[in-house]
Amino acid sequence: MSANSNEVDEQKLLARLRLGEEAAFRRLYDRYSRPIYGNILRLVRDEAVADDLLQDVFVKIWEHRENIDPTQSFRAYLFTCSRHFAFNFKRRLRLEIEVAIQIARGYVDSDDVVVNSLDAKETELLLQEAISELPAQRQRIFRLCKIDGLSYRQVAEQLGISEATVRDHIVKANKFIKDRLIQGGGYSALLLTVWLLAAT
C-alpha cells in the first residue's frame, strides 16, 4: 500500500474514531501503541510506569476524540502527548523526591507531611548507613551523582574513569541501597527508593 493510501486509510480511521467507533480506536491503538510505548520508556526508563502512561495517553485520545483533526499527523500528535505525560510524571516525581529528601534530612515539619519525625530520622539513618556500607569508590560516585547532583560525565571527568563505569557503580549502589530502604520500610523510605531509581 502506498504512503498516500496509508494516509487516506488513517484519515478514515480518525474520522470513525471521532464518531466514537471502538473498532477504529482499537486499530489505531494496535498500530501505534508499540512505538509510543518505546518513546515513553526511553523517557521514564521504567517498564511499569511506561505501561501506565501508555494507557493514559490512549485514554486521553478516546476522551478527546472529537477534537482530533484527521488532516493532521496522528503519529506526531501521539508522540507529543506521550512526551507531555512522561514529562508531567517526571515533574511529579521530582517534587516527591524533594519532599522525601527534606523529610529524611528533617527540613519538613511532621505536621506538613504524612509521616512523623521519628520516621524521618529513621529513614535518614537507614540511608546514611546504607551509603556507608558501599565500597569506597562506589560510595564516592554515589554521593557525587545522587547527593551533589553531578552528571555521569562530570563525575567520569573528575575521577578519570568512563561514563560506563560511573553508570555501573550507580546501578549497583542503587540496588543495594534500595533493598536496604525497602527492608527499613516507612513512607519516606519508599519515596527515597523512588529517588534512587529516578536518575539511573
How crowded is residue 131: how many other Cβ atoms within 10 Å of its Cβ? Answer: 18
What percent of the chain stands above pLDDT 90? 34
The matching CATH number, chosen from 3.30.365.10, 3.40.630.190, 3.40.50.10860, 1.10.10.10, for 106-198 is: 1.10.10.10
Q: What is the C-alpha separation between 88 and 37, in angstroms, rounded?
A: 16
For 116, counting Cβ atoms within 10 Å of its Cβ (0-12 exposed, 13-18 middle, 19+ buried), the class is middle
Q: What is the C-alpha separation between 193 and 137, in angstroms, rounded?
A: 21
Residue 193 has pLDDT above 70, yes or no: no
| pLDDT score at 199 | 46
Name the least confident of 22-26, 158-162, 174-178. Answer: 174-178
> Which 8-state DSSP code applies to residue 114?
S
pLDDT tens-digit profile of 90-136?
877 776 666 555 555 554 444 444 444 445 556 667 777 888 888 99
* Cα angle: 67, vertex 76, 46; to 5 degrees: 105
| pLDDT score at 118 | 45
Average pLDDT across the chain, whole number = 78
Mean pLDDT of the region 164-186:
76
Report how far apart, in Å, the C-alpha atoms of 5 and of each of 12, 30, 70, 77, 109 are. Answer: 11, 18, 14, 20, 62
| pLDDT score at 185 | 55
The matching CATH number, chosen from 3.30.200.20, 1.10.1740.10, 3.40.640.10, 2.60.40.790, for 3-92 is: 1.10.1740.10
More confident residue, 18 or 120: 18
Residue boundaries of the structural domains of the chain = 3-92, 106-198
